[in-house]
Structure 1
Amino acid sequence: MWSRVRRAGSVMALALPCLLAVTQSAHAGLGGAPMTPPADSSVSSRTVQLGTSPATAAQSVMRSASSAASSVPAATSYTVRETTLGNGTVVREYLAADGSVFGLAWRGPQMPDLNDLLGSYFPQYVAGVKAVRAARGGGHGPVAVDQGSLVVRSGGHMGAFNGQAWLPPALPAGVSGSDIQ
C-alpha cells in the first residue's frame, strides 16, 4: 500500500511542473494594472491620440509603454499594449493615463484565461453568462454580457477565438466600446 502512495506521489511530483508549463496564465486584471506577460510571450505598445481615426492610430509607431506614457500628454491619449502569448493568442490591453486597464481584446487559437484577464470582474462575467444562457435555453456559442459597469463579448470556435471586454465608466473621454478591438 505505501509503495502505491509513494508511486502516486512521485508521478504527481513529475507531472506538476509539466502542468504548470502548459498553463498560459497572463496575470492581468481589468480595472487594475497591466498583465505581467508570461516568459514565452512578446509585448509591444503604441500610443493612440484621441480624435484620430482607428486607421491612423494603427499606423502609429510601436513604443515601449513607459516612453509612450511620457511622450504624450495624458489627457490626449491612451496606450494599447499588445502581448502575443506563446500559444499564438494575442491580448490587447487598453491603458488609461494612470496605467489602469479599461479594456481588453483577444484573438487567437486558444482562449486566454478570462479569470486572470477580468480579475475582480470575473464573478460578474460568470453571472452574466449564466443569465444569457438561461435566457436562450442553455448551450454554448457567442456570449454578450452587458451589465452597465462591465461589457464582455466573446465568441469563436476551436482554433479561432476572439473577444472584447471593457469598463464603460472607465473609458477615457472620446473612447467608446467599439474602439476596443
Structure 2
Amino acid sequence: MKPAISLAMTIAATLTISIDTRAELGGAPSWPDHSSVGISILAQQAPLAAKYTLSETKLRSGTVVREYVGQDGVVFAVVWHGPQMAPLNKLLGAYFPPYIDGLNEVHRARGGGNGAAIVRQPGLIVQTGGHMGSFAGRAYLPQALPPGTEPDDLQ
C-alpha cells in the first residue's frame, strides 16, 4: 500500500509546475486568451459539427494539451501527449482528488508498480500511459459528452 500512496504523492508533486491556468475540466478553457507565459496556441478549430470547439496548446515542456469545449463553454475533455506529463492538478481541477483516489485504488488492485492506468470514478474517466519522454492520456466527463460524441473521438 505504501507504493500506491508514494506514487500518488510523487505524481501530485511532479504535476505542480507553474502554469497560469484559469479553469479546468468541468469549467471554462484553461487558456482562453493563450497569453500565459510558456504556452503557445497550435490550433483552435471552429465548432466541430456545432458540437464543440477544440483548442490545442503546446506547453513550455513540449507537451501538447487539447481541450474540448462544449457549446456551453465548459471543458468536457482534455487530451495530452508529449515528453512530460500534463499538469493534471491544474487541468483536472476539482476532479484531481478523485483522480488520485482512483489511481491509488488501481495501484492497490495490481499490487503497486507504474504503468498505464485507467481511473473510473463517478462522472470522471482518466486514461494515462507512456514512459519517460513520451506520455499521453485523456480525461473526460462521460455525462458531458455532446450527443453523438464517443470517447474515441477524443484524441
How high is the TM-score relative to the length of structure 2?
A: 0.81
Alpha-carbon contact 1:24-1:85 (below 8 Å) kept: no
- 1:32 aligned to 2:27? yes
Which residue does the alignment assign to 1:157?
131
What are the equivalent positions in structure 2 for 1:106-145 lying under 5 Å apart?
106-145=80-119
What SS does structure 2 have at the residue aligned with 1:174? coil
What SS does structure 1 have at the residue aligned with 2:104? helix
Structure 2 Cα separation of the partners of residues 113 and 137 of structure 1: 26
Gapped runs of 5+ residues in structure 1?
1-22, 51-75
Residue 19 of structure 2 aligns to which amino acid in structure 1?
S
What SS does structure 1 have at the residue aligned with 2:152? helix
Moved over 3 A (4+): none
What SS does structure 1 have at the residue aligned with 2:67? strand
In the alignment of these two chains, the number of paired residues is 135
Structure 1 Cα separation of the partners of residues 133 and 54 of structure 2: 24
What are the equivalent positions in structure 2 for 1:84-103 lying under 5 Å apart?
84-103=58-77
What is the deviation of 1:48? 4.7
Structure 1 Cα separation of the partners of residues 109 and 72 of structure 2: 38
Which whole-Å deviations, capped at 9, do the CAs of 1:38-58 have from their partners, x for residues lacking one?
Answer: 3121112103534xxxxxxxx
**What fraction of aligned residue pairs are identical, expressed as a percent?**
49
Structure 1 Cα separation of the partners of residues 93 and 101 of structure 2: 14
More helix by share: 1
Residue 100 of structure 1 aligns to which amino acid in structure 2?
V
What are the equivalent positions in structure 2 for 1:63-102 lying under 5 Å apart?
76-102=50-76
Which residue does the alignment assign to 1:42?
40
- The range that moved more, 32-41 or 121-130, is 32-41
Gapped runs of 5+ residues in structure 2?
1-16
